[in-house]
Amino acid sequence: KAGVTQTPRYLIKTRGQQVTLSCSPISGHRSVSWYQQTPGQGLQFLFEYFSETQRNKGNFPGRFSGRQFSNSRSEMNVSTLELGDSALYLCASSITGTETYEQYFGPGTRLTVT
Amino acid sequence: GENVEQHPSTLSVQEGDSAVIKCTYSDSASNYFPWYKQELGKRPQLIIDIRSNVGEKKDQRIAVTLNKTAKHFSLHITETQPEDSAVYFCAARLNQAGTALIFGKGTTLSVSS
């Protein structure tokens, strides 16, 4: 079974621009969570989607948004980019069943804002 | 909301020694606690997890213990090898509504031969 995939793997953007990142979960997984990883803050939760609905949201400004499609693929968007948005953005998928919580990560998208 | 503290931030051991990483959580309702290993330039990999109805779980050289009363859980690695060198993250399930996780800040483990 193929793992979680993310595109693109690397991005360089300028302050003020916007960016869209994509995540394809493991086949059969219906939940997708997004995390921001930086050296100083570690792994911080952004949001979680299940069945095209946002189920949980972390403590990030409204410039960060996401969505999920009917095939469980998910996108996240960051508008008005700031230098501090430079980070590795990871998505993770889970099957979401009774007593099933395991999350599996994609390789991440490395975003650099200049 | 849930908060996870992880200690130590760095840990250096000799090959063959044991390593212990400790985490505390704030939400007494949390019921799922995974550990991830992240090697340089790679994605976090789930290495072991424990549910709140279990006190200890082992998988070869790796074990995790959970103390619900004290709200802390620990990762134990025995007979460490150089390939165990990585950053280890503990996490707790955010809430009962989904599978989102709150992570500790990570522990950089270095195993020297």
Assign A111 a pLDDT band (cuts: 50, 70, 90). very high
Residues of A in contact with B49 (CB under 8 A): 101-102
Query: DSSP readout, B34-101?
Result: EEEEE-TTS--EEEEEEETT-SEEEETTEEEEEETTTTEEEEEE-S--GGG-EEEEEEEE--TTS--E
Looking at residue B44, its pLDDT comes to: 98
Cis peptide before B8 (omega within 30 of 0): yes
Nearest-CB residue to B97 (from A41, A55, A106): A55
Task: Please give the mean pLDDT across all residues of chain A.
Answer: 95
Task: Please give the mean pLDDT across all residues of chain B.
Answer: 96
Average pLDDT over residues A35-48: 94
Tokens, residue A102: 């395991």
The answer, yes or no, to whether residue B96 has pLDDT greater than 90, is no
Cβ <8 Å between B89 and A45: no
Query: Which tens digit of pLDDT belongs to each residue from A48-88?
Result: 999 999 999 999 999 999 999 999 999 999 999 999 999 99
Looking at residue A67, its pLDDT comes to: 98
The DSSP symbol for A83 reads G
Which of A9-13, B14-18, B26-30, B87-91 bottoms out in mean pLDDT, i.e. has the lowest? B26-30
Query: Which tens digit of pLDDT belongs to each residue from B2-21?
Result: 899 999 999 999 999 999 99
Nearest-CB residue to A56 (from B34, B44, B95): B95
Give the separation between CA B61 and CA A102, rounded to whole angstroms. Answer: 21
Give the separation between CA B96 and CA A93, rounded to whole angstroms. Answer: 17
The answer, yes or no, to whether residue B97 has pLDDT greater than 90, is no
Percent share of chain A, pLDDT over 70:
98
Distance between B43 CA and the closest CA of chain A, angstroms: 5
Check residues A26 and A2 and name the one with the higher pLDDT: A26
Cβ <8 Å between A107 and B42: yes
Q: Which of B45, B47, B96, B99 to mutate to test the interface with A (most CBs of A within 10 A)?
A: B99
Distance between A63 CA and the closest CA of chain B, angstroms: 20
Spell out which chain B residues touch chain A, with contact meaning CB-CB distance below 8 angstroms.
32, 34, 36, 42-46, 49, 51, 89, 91, 93-95, 97-106
Residues of B in contact with A50 (CB under 8 A): 98
Looking at residue A98, its pLDDT comes to: 65
| φ, ψ of residue B84 in degrees (nearest 5) | -80, -10
Torsion of CA A75, A53, A73, A13, to 10 degrees: 0
Burial A1-13 (b: 16+ CB within 10 A, else e): eeebbbeeeebeb
Looking at residue A100, its pLDDT comes to: 81
Average pLDDT over residues B59-67: 97
Nearest-CB residue to A94 (from B42, B99, B102): B99
Distance between A8 CA and the closest CA of chain B, angstroms: 15
Under 8 Å between Cβ of A89 and A45? no
Under 8 Å between Cβ of A42 and B89? yes
From the centroid of its chain, how far is CA A32? 8
Residues of B in contact with A47 (CB under 8 A): 100
- Nearest CA to A8 out of A86, A94, A107 is that of A107
The answer, yes or no, to whether residue A97 has pLDDT greater than 80, is no
